Amino acid sequence: MQIPEANTTALPPNSAGTDTASADATAGTLGLAAGAGLQYEQNTISVVDRFEPGLVYITTEQQAAAQNPFGMMGEEGQAQSGVGSGFFVNDAGDILTNYHVVAGEGGSGAASRITVRVMGQEEAVEAKVIGLAPQYDLALIRAEGMAQSLIRAIPLGDSDALKVGQKAIAMGAPFGLDFSVSQGIVSSTARQIPIGFSAGGGEGITQKAIQTDAAINPGNSGGPLLNSAGEVIGINTQILSPAGQATGVGQSAGVGFAIPINAAKNLLPRLQAAEGQIVTLPRIGVSVGLLVQGPQGQPVPVGLGLLNGQGKQQLNLPDTGLVVGDVQPGTPAATAGLQGGTRTEEFQGGSVSVGGDVIVAIDGKPVDGLEDLQAELINKTQGDTVTLTVVRGGEEREVPVTLDAASF
């Protein structure tokens, strides 16, 4: 069979040289890209090789009470078990994880039994609770009887310095597949989502979170999110799973969230001194007066920075700040004379209380939501005084607030 001759056009005398140069440049570009790819891979391999030994596989057991109508109430039933992740933060064997990983039945207290295992070890050891912080969804446990050589602390980074687009490496045990690694980027550094559990054990407390597209699934909870230097920048805590709303089973959709490590670092001294008890969030006694509809339809408290300028101008509100909805009697806020809203204005997707105070700063640091207030209160103790900058009736004033026993 004869192959038809291709249509060709003669090249000018110098065109062949130009074409060769172009090919060489293309090859050089591809070579650089390949080299960059190899460097990227090698960095990941190096981080995993060095710091994955600090990852901890956590197993919990909770003895459930049997529902036997013919027996005595409270007799033991079948044990319930769960799995999660954590990581060493010091040479004493202290392990940071999520509260919900080690929580007991109904999300109250700690599980009956907690065991931990490190990579390359078949035997698990018991772990005891050092401190619980349900409102932050954080817990500190300690491995007991583990060989010192197996305790490998992972360095803690600075989540305030994060930039969108940075590498993010997630470690954990998705679906119980222990010591798994996934990789992505930091998708957002200040996503506001409900994290942790309120004092009543229900609603989450809105806090800043790191959003990442590194695959996070059930079992990753409590595991570390690392940067390219191998530093922990966050603690994997939850995922947004639209499919889960229909099926009841959450799956990774490329939208995962981690607690910023700076929040955990601030809380760590209180957890270490808790002696197995619950660490509570200091409160001044105000509720947030600006609510918007959350992903699941629930009201989420947010700062004024999320409202458009026209709406704030019409309501005589500052550009940013925490709107005070109500002030609880007998609290530091009430003693200091803070004022709540006098009426509620509805808007599409939410509502805002007006006529009261707007907190715009605490100790000179800007406030644009409950999470900013919480961040400055996190290390305060009874008797400490903070200075709130509030806007009332369009005028700014300083209000000192002393934290008393009611704050804790």
- Catalytic positions, written as ranges: 100, 137, 221
Of residues 382, 401, 99, 117, the one with CA closest to residue 264: 99
Residue 281 CB partners (closer than 8 Å, separation 6+): 133, 135, 136, 205, 374, 377, 378
Whole-angstrom distance, CA of residue 405 vs CA of residue 24: 74
Half-sphere exposure of 95 (CA within 13 A, CB side): 36
**Identity of the amino acid at 103:** A
Closest by Cα among 104, 148, 139, 146 to 125: 146
Residue 78's CB: how many other CB atoms inside 10 A?
A: 8
Q: CA nearest 300: which of 194, 222, 403?
A: 194
